[in-house]
Amino acid sequence: AQSVTQPDIHITVSEGASLELRCNYSYGATPYLFWYVQSPGQGLQLLLKYFSGDTLVQGIKGFEAEFKRSQSSFNLRKPSVHWSDAAEYFCAVGAREYGNKLVFGAGTILRVKS
């Protein structure tokens, strides 16, 4: 069965510091990988996605993520965090074999301290 693990429930970083949010998946197929962000009181917004090609993908708001097949990981990074990045971040995985469905991780809540 497909599953997605986000090991960190909460992360606190200082404004201006770098950020890495972890995502590990368990899939028997070639995965389609997504990172979404949910700001307080908002719906989810796509940050970036990967399904083929260069394993380092760039997204909106200065975020990037790297697909590492050998580690079954798709970690999200940002070199310098801004206070407005405080939100909940979700990793999601899909595969053609499972139709158009995505499986979401439990989410990581990011707090930014000034």
Partner 1 sequence: DVKVTQSSRYLVKRTGEKVFLECVQDMDHENMFWYRQDPGLGLRLIYFSYDVKMKEKGDIPEGYSVSREKKERFSLILESASTNQTSMYLCASSRGGISDTQYFGPGTRLTVL
Q: Which residues bind partner 1 (CB under 8 A)?
A: 4, 6, 9, 32, 34, 36, 41-46, 49, 51, 90, 92, 94-96, 99-107
Q: Is the CB of 32 or the CB of 74 nearer to partner 1?
A: 32
The region that residue 27 occupies, defined by phi over 0 for left and psi between -120 and 50 for alpha, beta otherwise, is beta
In the complex, least distance from residue 51 CB atom to partner 1, rounded to whole angstroms: 5
Q: Is the CB of 81 or the CB of 105 nearer to partner 1?
A: 105
Contacts of 70 (CB under 8 A, 6+ apart): none
User: What is the phi/psi pair of residue 82, to 5°?
Assistant: -110, 155
